[in-house]
Amino acid sequence: MLDQPRTTTQPMISPPGVPVIKQVNWGGLRTLYVKEVRRFFKVQLQTVWAPAVTTLLYLVIFTVALGARAAVPVGGSTRPFADFIAPGLIVMGMMTNAFANSSFSLLVGKLQGTIVDYLMPPLSSSELLAGLSLAAVTRAFLVGGALWIAMLCWPGVHVAMANPLAVLWFGLMGSLLLTFLGVLTSIWAEKFDHAAAVTNFVVQPLALLSGTFYSVDKLAPTFRMISHFNPIFYVISGFRYGFLGVADSPVAFGAGLLLVINIAMGALCYTLLRRGWKIKN
């Protein structure tokens, strides 16, 4: 009997030093994103609905105290106070929750010793940053959507969009701005007190002094100039422009400035993650 040639299927094994995933690990990136979204969505009452209700209370308190129909000067015209304050509250809620989400993952991993769950999988630094950032932006838009729907049903408040593209752009830029700040915080922080300090002494003052509750046109020239050095001011002003059609600042300039700042902060986050500063040592 003649020997028959035997065909075997051998696994394709790359030589040592040759990467198997040569471009983007889409499967790993999707898995990280789904994992991060499921993490905050399991406690959605705390991470989505509670912040939305808290932000909505600001609208109730300020409109009751100052009057919903009180006129506020903005962009050379006047708008009812309730209509003026509503867009700023929406995007402020989006930004603070984006920061809360991105500043938690790596920090809790370092404190609980589970940081290897982020470092060991075959994910590059850019893929790790993208997964964390997309999840934080997702939470921000969920909170913003919940607030917008609630304000649509709220009597005396008009939140119809005059420019949906501006709403989307400035909402995205503001969420990414605080997302990258949250990633930087989680890399730098060594305990929850450090993250809380950034929240209390950086995020909250910048958000509250950004023109959310007042028009910068009413400020003295010196303080008006200082407000223009606050990047969140351009987020609030541009997002408000998407609803009202008027703004306290040049919209195109703010859109470009925020893009540049986000690119710079994203590059800084990528560099620190790649070097493993305060993560791998």
Tens-place pLDDT, residues 101-118: 999 988 998 888 888 888
Residue 121 resides in a domain: yes
CA–CA distance, 224 with 236 (Å, rounded to integer):
15
The band of 167, judged by pLDDT with boundaries at 50, 70 and 90, is: very high
Main-chain phi, psi angles of 80, to 5 degrees: -60, 145
State the average pLDDT over residues 131-159: 92
Residue 238 lies in a domain: yes
So what's the pLDDT on residue 2?
A: 47
Residue 3 has pLDDT above 60, yes or no: no
What CA–CA distance (Å, rounded) separates 170 from 168? 6
pLDDT at 68: 56
61: confidence class by pLDDT, cuts 50, 70, 90? confident
Structural domain contains residue 190: yes
Residue among 236, 204, 253, 261 at smallest CA distance from 91: 236
| Residue 26 maps to a domain | no
38 pLDDT above the threshold of 50: yes
Going by pLDDT thresholds of 50, 70 and 90, the confidence category of residue 12 is low
CA max distance for the chain: 102
pLDDT reading at 202 higher than 50: yes
Strand partners, 80: 71
State the pTM of this model: 0.88
Answer whether residue 220 is part of any domain.
yes
- The mean pLDDT value of the chain amounts to 87
**pLDDT the model gives residue 274:** 92
| pLDDT at residue 1 tops 50 | no
Share of the chain above pLDDT 90, in %: 53
Residue 228: Cβ-neighbour burial (10 angstroms; 0-12, 13-18, 19+): middle
Domain extent at residue 95? 43-275
Q: What is the pLDDT of residues 76-99, one digit of tens each?
A: 778 888 888 999 999 999 999 999
Number of domains in the chain: 1
Confidence of residue 257 (pLDDT cuts 50, 70, 90): very high
13 in any annotated domain: no
